Amino acid sequence: MTGESPDGSAADSALPPSEQRQAVRERYGRIATDTDDGSCCGDDPSARDDGSCCGDSSDDAHARALGYSSDDIDSVAEGANLNLGCGNPTAIAGLDEGETVLDLGSGGGFDCFLAAQEVGPAGQVIGVDMTPEMVERARANAAENEASNVSFRLGEIEHLPVADASVDVVISNCVVNLSPDKPRVFREAYRVLRPGGHVAISDVVLTAEIPGDRRADPSSVAACVAGAAPIPDLEAMLTDAGFTDVSIEPKAESETFIRDWDSERDLSDYIVAARIEGRKPAPESSESPESPATTAPGHASGDSSDE
């Protein structure tokens, strides 16, 4: 299956969707149950040679390279940061107190816990992950971090277990590329967002055609490489889902850590990390175009949804 972007569900890898999901679920299930403290590579050198999103570093230097500050790292208890991302979505999300945030592919919960600090006790953070082992680990991390405003749900990002128009911001960190049906992911994000809400995603995008053997390799698909899509395709998917103010900004500096993802090939020749944003339009104001001065005496000018 070669895929036809951007409207086909298998547009992004040569694997059938069922095999792609299975490869992802198995890989991240293993990572979730790894007892090593935070590294998805552990002590196994072979784990560093398969295109892993974690590269070859298990310390805080990798997190800082992704855009996290030392304060970010220190504010979350050990075990939540699995070094699986390619950016810091909470840094671009512009979160406000009291908001509800949804994290697509929440992993160990690191970004959720950072978001929870931003939205405060009046806010809520929901993490969705399709790997039971990862949800179990994230829930244990929530208890460790005493994050009472964070919850984790088992589910696929193509079929979110979240109500319509119930979320203010959708974040994600290097997960959308793993989906065999990215258009549906963006449609689901649009569905759960309240009008005026937005997506703030860190992910990898395709800059050159990946060799055929890699696109058909389950390890490469599950390791944030072979499933990446070109920027024009992603822009079309977001627009088709209904988003406006779509922006995809590649991060040239990401080449420094992407080069570490594979010991045999420089993956920065094919992919780059990017900041992906879009907004669900707010409804048009129902307020009368008449100015208050011309409104009939004793007649209310009408309710406005503007804040």
Residue 271, SS3 per DSSP: strand
**Section 213-234 average pLDDT:** 79
More confident residue, 50 or 81: 81
285 versus 82: the higher-pLDDT residue is: 82
Q: What is the pLDDT of residue 221?
A: 65
Residue ranges of domains in the chain: 17-283
Q: Is the pLDDT of residue 202 over 80?
A: yes
Largest CA distance in the chain: 79
pLDDT of residue 210 exceeding 60, the answer is yes
pLDDT higher than threshold 90 for residue 145: yes
- Predicted pLDDT at 85: 93
Which residues pair with residue 255 across a beta bridge?
none
Helix (H) or strand (E) holding 200: strand 193-206
Round the average pLDDT of the chain to a whole number and report it: 83
- Tens of pLDDT, residues 224-244: 777 899 999 999 999 999 999
Q: What secondary structure does DSSP assign to 166-194, as a single string?
A: -EEEEEEES-GGG-S-HHHHHHHHHHHEE
Question: Is the pLDDT higher at 1 or at 130?
Answer: 130
pLDDT tens, position by position, 241-257: 999 999 999 999 999 89
17-283 carries CATH number 3.40.50.150: yes
Q: What pLDDT, in 10s, does the model give residues 244-297?
A: 999 999 999 999 899 888 888 888 999 999 999 999 999 886 554 444 443 333
pLDDT confidence of residue 288: 46
The number of beta carbons lying within 10 Å of the beta carbon of residue 210 is 24
Quickly state the pLDDT bin for 98 (edges 50, 70, 90): very high
CA 235, CA 270: separation in Å to the nearest integer?
18
Supply the pLDDT for residue 48. Answer: 40
For 217, phi and psi rounded to 5 degrees?
-90, 120
Please give the pLDDT value at position 286. Answer: 56
Q: Is 165 left (phi over 0), alpha (psi -120 to 50) or beta?
A: left
pLDDT band at 125 (very low <50, low <70, confident <90, very high): very high
Q: Name 156's bridge partners.
A: 159
Tokens at 256, concatenated? 């420094």
The structure's pTM equals 0.82
> What are residue 250's DSSP bridge partners?
274
